Amino acid sequence: MSEEYKREYVFGLDYGTSDFKFGPIALGEVPEVIENRGYFIDRSSLMSRIMGVDREIVVGKDISRFLESREDLAERMVYPMRNGVIARDDERAWRVIRELTRYALESFAPPDEEFQGFYVVASISIVSPRYMYERLFEIFRELNRDRVLVKAATIIPQPLAVAISQKTPTCTVVESGHGNTQICPISMYPVRNAVIALNRGGGAANTLTMEILKDAGYGDLAKEESFVRLVKEKIGLIPRNLDEAIRYAKGNPEKVKVSLKIPGTRIKIVLDDMAWTRFLIGEFIFNPGHEIFQSYFARGMPKPSDIKIGDTYFYGMMDMAEAVITSVERCSIELQPHLYSRILLSGGNFSWDVPEGLEGIAVRPDEKLRQQLLEKEIEGANVSIVEDPKYSVWRGCIVYGYAVPHDYEWRWERMEGWMYVA
């Protein structure tokens, strides 16, 4: 297979914990995006037979058309990568990943006879165990049994994909998605023994948003995760200083009150005297240890817990700056200044804006982390948000696939190269 063919058919797959980003090199800068989830249809029901629904798992943008009652969601909706890691024996999760992968590849596979499969670059969490790599390669082979969709595949860690997309060989990548946050120093390759994983991401902010909605009288609506996520993204704010932001909000409620109408429905969310809680949502991502959250924990909201998944320890309550410092300080002293001089924030959990009129009270994620680090005596840290943080991993996949020669075959000892599966 020629180098020209490979470069024309590079295909990126970013298995994010919340969103699945995918597409070929021809898309340019922005991939296709669907939620990383699958819905298991009750095929034994009479209506499934009458309507001719022959699928067991539904993925993609049409998934909402198949949803049933709210009670069924918990049983039938599967989010396979809650913590970025799928258990070896979690067959329902692996079936969803297989269907998502098929959906992505078939969406762009050309019908012409010259097509002999994509060169797929898949990106998964830096803490993913080896069996996840093995299972993904197996899925690529299985999909080829019906029609050749994958010529060759390679798999890279998400933080490395970010560094590649930014063409930055030495940096610290903070990749924060729905289920977790990965802090990974990069010195040409990921410094794996310095990786810090937080059991906290956009999902933790969703949990707090749910409690805020309950307190505001929207308890029934707070049961649907997709709805809660939408509310969080529309109303959440990161405070420069939480105590000062709360005082400002309570003294100037007209400046922070918010009204949100859900398109296509009669549902409207209004926060006026409780608008100060908007600042709690962003703060929870960076510092869940603030004393104000103790009242929520006391009422039963789950506290982000320290857990061990495989060989990786996920910290629940460690604040963001402390996680970055802990990660960097596991590296050589000579390297540390270079790691602080280029801290890259990537992932959908860093897509926070500052509304007009709240400048100085609310801040962007880079400014928040820079301030946290300064408070811990890390001076001069250069923190920046990558352009389009939701897509930086996918873009890194495309750049990597374009650059790796087609004859550089997979090496398990280095975890790099092309695995030919067609």
- Site of tokens 């398990």: 412
pLDDT in tens, 46-90: 444 443 455 688 888 877 666 654 555 556 788 888 778 898 999
Q: With the CA atoms of 291, 293, 299 and 302 taken in that order, what torsion angle do they form, in degrees rounded to the nearest 10?
A: -120
d(CA 107, CA 104): 5
- Cα-only R_g, the chain: 22
What's residue 50's pLDDT?
A: 40
What pLDDT does residue 72 have? 58
Per residue in 3-27, pLDDT (tens digit) is: 899 999 999 999 988 889 999 999 9
Outline which parts of the chain fall under CATH 3.30.420.570.
201-303
Give the pLDDT score at 75.
67
Range scoring the smallest mean pLDDT among 70-79, 238-247, 323-332, 365-374? 70-79
Question: Where does residue 419 fall: left (phi above 0), alpha (psi -120 to 50 degrees), or beta otherwise?
Answer: beta
Task: Give the single-character DSSP code of 301.
Answer: P
- Quote the pLDDT of residue 52: 42
Alpha-carbon distance of 248 to 257, in angstroms, equals: 12
Which residues are paired to 296 by β-bridges? none
Indicate where the chain has its CATH 3.30.420.40 domain(s): 3-158+390-420
Q: How far apart are CA 180 and CA 85, in angstroms?
A: 10
Fold adopted by 3-158+390-420: Nucleotidyltransferase; domain 5 (3.30.420)
State residue 55's pLDDT score. Answer: 67
pTM for the complete prediction?
0.87
Q: Which residue has the higher pLDDT, 2 or 309?
A: 2
Q: Tell me: the pLDDT tens digits for 165-174?
A: 999 999 999 9
Residue 163 has pLDDT above 70, yes or no: yes
Secondary structure class of 209 (helix, strand, coil): helix
pLDDT per position as a tens digit, 87-123 = 899 999 999 999 999 999 999 999 888 899 999 999 9
| pLDDT category of residue 282 using cuts at 50, 70 and 90 | very high
pLDDT at 243: 96
Instruction: Please give the DSSP secondary-structure letter assigned to residue 237.
Output: -
Of 39, 31, 28, which is closest to residue 92 (Cα–Cα)? Answer: 39
Q: Tell whether the model's pLDDT for residue 42 goes beyond 90.
A: no
CA distances from 407 to 8, 68, 133, 164, 187 (A): 15, 48, 20, 20, 25
Task: Determine the pLDDT at residue 45.
Answer: 52
Residue 368 contacts residue 38 (beta carbons within 8 Å):
no
- Strand pairing of 181-187 and 196-198? antiparallel
**Is residue 269 within 8 Å of residue 222, measured between CB atoms?**
no
The structure tokens listed for 398 are 């495309």
Looking at residue 49, its pLDDT comes to 46
Backbone angles phi, psi at 229, to 5 degrees: -60, -40
Structure tokens of 122? Answer: 């898949």
Phi, then psi, of 215 in degrees rounded to 5: -65, -25
Residue type, 126: I
Q: Token pair for residue 119? A: 């060169």
Q: How far apart are CA 122 and CA 197, in angstroms?
A: 20
Q: Please check whether the domain covering 201-303 is classified as CATH 3.40.50.300.
A: no
pLDDT at 171: 96
Q: How many other CB atoms sit within 10 Å of the CB of residue 138?
A: 14
Percentage of residues of the chain with pLDDT beyond 90: 66
**DSSP summary character for residue 179:** S
Residue-wise pLDDT for 195-242, tens only, equals 999 998 888 999 999 999 999 888 888 877 778 888 899 999 999 999
pLDDT band of 260, cuts 50, 70, 90? confident
pLDDT top residue among 341 and 1: 341
Q: Give the side-chain half-sphere CA count within 13 A for 182.
A: 34
Please tell me which of 84-88, 162-166, 177-181 the model is most confident about, judged by mean pLDDT. 162-166
* 89-118 core/surface letters (b: 16 or more CB in 10 A; e: else): eeeebbbbbbbbbbbbbeebbeeeeebebb
CA gap 247, 220 in Å, rounded: 30
Nearest C-alpha neighbor of 35 from the set 181, 230, 218: 230
Compute the mean pLDDT over every residue in the chain, rounded to the nearest whole number: 89
